[in-house]
Amino acid sequence: MGLQVYIDGRFVDEDDAKVSVYDHGLLYGDGVFEGIRVYNRRLFMMDEHLKRLYNGAKVIRLEIPMEPGDLKDKVRETVRINDISDGYVRLVVTRGKGDLGLSPSKCADPNIIIIAATIKIYPEEVYMRGLNVVTVSTRRNNPDSLSPQIKSLNYLNHILAHLEVLHAGADEGLVLNDGGYVTECVVDNFFIVVNGVILTPPTNAGALNGITRLVVFNLAKEHNMEIREENLSLVECYTADEAFLTGTAAEVAPVTHIDERPIGDGKPGPFTTRLMEAFKELKENYGTPID
């Protein structure tokens, strides 16, 4: 028997976890999702992820058919049933089954899907040597058209950018906005360190206000590191002393090369290393127990 997936109000084997071909999450990318990490049988930043899920659903007028507390318990149950001690939860809410028309009004019952499994984005040596990042030509969606604060199921903009990363043989990609400023990486938030100050693009430039991004802001303040939001040009990134990225799956990872240019001395820097260590300590001791 494989992993047990919560879908359509019940647990089923992963091979039997199916959605209707008329589900608007499939047909139109109409829905929201969250990725949540599990460390030491604890759900990391669970409440923050749920808050963002419900906020995103509210913006697109998608009513999640479960109260936050009940959904939290169902996520815990999914992790527990699959005996995941360290892993990843993908929590998805689709608009539900409708017809071939675009209108959400034909979708009566939103569908909740919870998958608990394991995940590893980068091999361990990447955290020692750093990531090789390239700038992609695909621009981030204009926030006035589609807010980056909505983690919607429509990820084509990110996929197009990731295809460029794959073609370049790189680890990640920097994505610019219409003004030519850095927004974030393809699926991670981006930071640089200049003269002892940590800088990251503001959310109104097109960056997702990531959960791990918020954790890094808190950790930086706890360790008396100055951190602020600021529009970043590629020149500023190329000439930075350090660079790193953050994400639920990637955690905190050093960036040592951008567009074939070494950042600093081409090795993970002291600010990045301290934040990586602080994050590791936090994740091992903080979270919502699944038992």
CB within 8 Å of 88: residues ≥ 6 apart: 35, 36, 37, 38, 116, 117, 118, 119, 248, 249
Asked if 71 contacts 49 with a C-beta cutoff of 8 angstroms, the reply is no
SS (H, E, C) 176-215: ECCCCCEEEECCCEEEEEECCEEEECCHHHCCCCCHHHHH
Helix, strand or coil for residue 223?
coil
Asked if 253 contacts 126 with a C-beta cutoff of 8 angstroms, the reply is yes
What is the end-to-end Cα distance of the chain in Å, rounded? 22
CB within 8 Å of 21: residues ≥ 6 apart: 27
Given the DSSP bridges, would you call strands 111-117 and 4-7 parallel, antiparallel or unpaired?
antiparallel
SS (H, E, C) 237-263: HHCCCEEEEEECCCEEEEEEEECCEEC
**Residues of 183-208 as b/e, b for ≥16 C-beta within 10 angstroms?**
bbbbbbbbbbbbeeebbbbebebbbb
Asked if 230 contacts 201 with a C-beta cutoff of 8 angstroms, the reply is yes
- Residues 259, 252: Cα–Cα separation, whole Å: 20
CA atoms within 13 A on the CB side of 57: 25
Helix, strand or coil for residue 154?
coil
Q: Which residues are catalytic?
A: 151
